Amino acid sequence: MAALSAEFGDLVQIKKQLISVIVLCKERGLLHSAKWASELAFALDPLPKDELPPSPPFTEEDAQDLDTLTLAKSYFDLKEYDRAAFFLKDCCSQKAYFLYMYSRYLSGEKKKDDETVDSLGPLEKGQVRNEALRELRVELSKKHTSGELDGFTLYLYGVVLRKLDLLKEAVEVFVEAIHALPLHWGAWLELSSLVNNIEMLKSLTLADCWMKDFFMAHMYTELQMIKEALQKYQSLIEVGFSKSTYIISQIAVAYHNIRDIDQALAMFNELREQDPCRIDNMDTFSNLLYVKNMKPELSYLAHNLVEIDKYRVETCCVIGNYYSLRSQHEKAALYFQRALKLNPRCLGAWTLMGHEYMEMKNTSAAIQAYRHAIEVNKRDYRAWYGLGQTYEILKMPFYCLYYYRKAHQLRPNDSRMLVALGESYEKLSQHVEAKKCYWRAYSVGDVEKMALLKLAKLNEQLNESDDAAQSYMLYIRDIYSCGEQLEHAEVSTALRYLGQYFFKNKLFEEASLCAQRCCDYNESREEGKALQRQIAQVRDQVETPTTDLFAPLSNNNTTPVRRITSLNLGSFTP
């Protein structure tokens, strides 16, 4: 069980804090933070009436601004941001000041999005910016220097800095906002988008409160440290958050990230039972259904989400996946474009649209889509990997190598990245590095069972017959141990090579066994029969001890003519 804050020993106090911060966020129009806190509070037992937290403190300034604030908030809720800002500009309370600045910020964002949708296609690189950002930064900077910003306004200042690409300053301000108001989830979430690696995460001086555990679990998921993330979420469930749909959804996403598809599907199905009208994370659920080729389930999910809200980003992504599974790639791309019109920073939509353009052989559009995905989130390994695949189609191996390396850095234990790296090195005739990558892919658990095969073929190409035989033998045992030998066409290639190898080295029993197995496959049946005839002609001349080619790997008697030392790859990092 992962160590948690001692504050989790008093869930009643945590519930009170959540109820208080929900009120504060709602008053300031921070709806997503209010929703997150509400879902967490719902997972805890209700409080008796006499234990409910008191209302937030009400100052003399709040009393003076009350009527204006009430009027402006009604305009704000109706998305009339300029109108709200006009009435709030002379108010002096902290709450009114935040809403005034936030209204100006959202007004600029709304105008930017409207201009983007009106004038640009989904793949065009626009220079449309929120014109209010610079003014907001100047004003907030002055207040920040004089120490007049509260936790909420510090959060807004951090958002403005991030939008202006002043990332180092933004991180410092978000950390300050978290210390000023640790219960505001929005500040934690914004900070998480700026943390690029575990070293940076460890260097941050964060507020020591129970919210830090939720943040760390989220960061572990984002940084692909899935084992640590699952331990953290399991600990949170055990201390009393077992009903939290947020935690269930995060666990499902974590399983999705490590490609444990069955576990992820089970968690998403549990989530759907508890919250059948939920749309958050359903695009990730649809990715899993797509990978498992579950057309009826994906169709049902798409229809269900359309009934709930057809104009949500997640709904458009689910419909896009549905059409992609039906090989209607133009329609799929159309729905991903629609998702991006609703939210131009939707990471999943950019990546999935890149995949669709790849299917349509439109490599230039695919490259643009993947680049947009990386702009949104540089930690998205799928976009880096997609760029590598695109440049592979364009026969540009140096570019492939760069992008596959980036993907590998984000997913160091993903065999697909290592195999792709090995293929790039092979195309560049860097055979030593290629062999290291293939062996490393096998060592970390080869998902697609291709690493040993590619290693063997490379050894064969380099006339390293003993190493090729060793790799082919490992490959065949791996395939047979999974019970996939009849489905894996390349087994016949391995058997054919091993049959000839053993025959040349006068190991006729092993050669005969390989020849018999060759006859199980159409591609190698004739070669198998021919080899059996050759063995029959010379069998009486040399007798050799019998070994079982397909014994478990721990049996040392299965080694061919000489013991072939495995490549020493422990110190290699592509």
The model's pLDDT over 456-514, given as tens digits with 9 standing for 90+, comes to 889 888 888 889 888 888 888 877 776 654 455 678 888 888 888 888 888 878 888 88
pLDDT tens for each residue of 246-291: 999 999 999 999 889 999 999 999 999 999 999 999 999 999 999 9
- Long-range contacts, stretch 5-14, CB < 8 angstroms, 24+ apart: 5/208, 5/209, 5/210, 5/212, 5/213, 7/209, 7/210, 8/210, 8/213, 8/236, 8/239, 8/240, 11/44, 11/45, 11/239, 11/240, 12/47, 12/51, 14/44, 14/210
Share of the chain above pLDDT 70, in %: 90
Asked if residue 406 has pLDDT above 90, the reply is: yes
What tokens appear for 144 in the block?
A: 């920040």
Distance CA(339)–CA(66), nearest Å, equals 39
Tell me what pLDDT residue 479 has.
Answer: 78
What is the predicted pLDDT for the residue at 503?
Answer: 83
- If phi > 0 it is left, if psi is from -120 to 50 it is alpha, else beta; for residue 108 that is alpha
| Confidence tier at 121 by pLDDT (50, 70, 90) | low
Question: Is residue 53 over pLDDT 70?
Answer: yes
pLDDT for the residue 475: 85
Q: Which of 253, 182, 260, 200 is nearest to 5 (CA)?
A: 182
The mean per-residue pLDDT over the stretch 220-242 comes to 93
Amino acid 567: pLDDT: 33
Query: What is the token pair recorded at 101?
Result: 């600045």
Q: Inform me whether the pLDDT recorded for 543 exceeds 90.
A: no
Q: What is the pLDDT of residue 2?
A: 66
Q: Looking at residue 55, what DSSP letter applies?
A: P
Per residue in 139-195, pLDDT (tens digit) is: 999 999 999 999 999 999 999 999 999 999 999 999 999 999 999 999 999 999 999
Mean pLDDT score across all residues of the chain = 87
Residue 239 per-residue DSSP state? I
Give the least confident one: 55-69, 120-134, 346-360, 486-500. 120-134
Confidence (pLDDT) at 14: 94
Which of these ranges, 112-126, 180-194, 197-211, has the smallest mean pLDDT? 112-126
Share of the chain above pLDDT 90, in %: 61
pTM summary value:
0.84
Query: Which of 51-60, 337-346, 564-573 is least confident?
Result: 564-573
pLDDT score of 514: 85
Backbone angles phi, psi at 462, to 5 degrees: -90, 10
Name the least confident of 415-419, 485-489, 524-528. Answer: 485-489
Q: How confident is the model at residue 452 (pLDDT cuts 50, 70, 90)?
A: confident
Q: Which residue has the higher pLDDT, 545 or 378?
A: 378
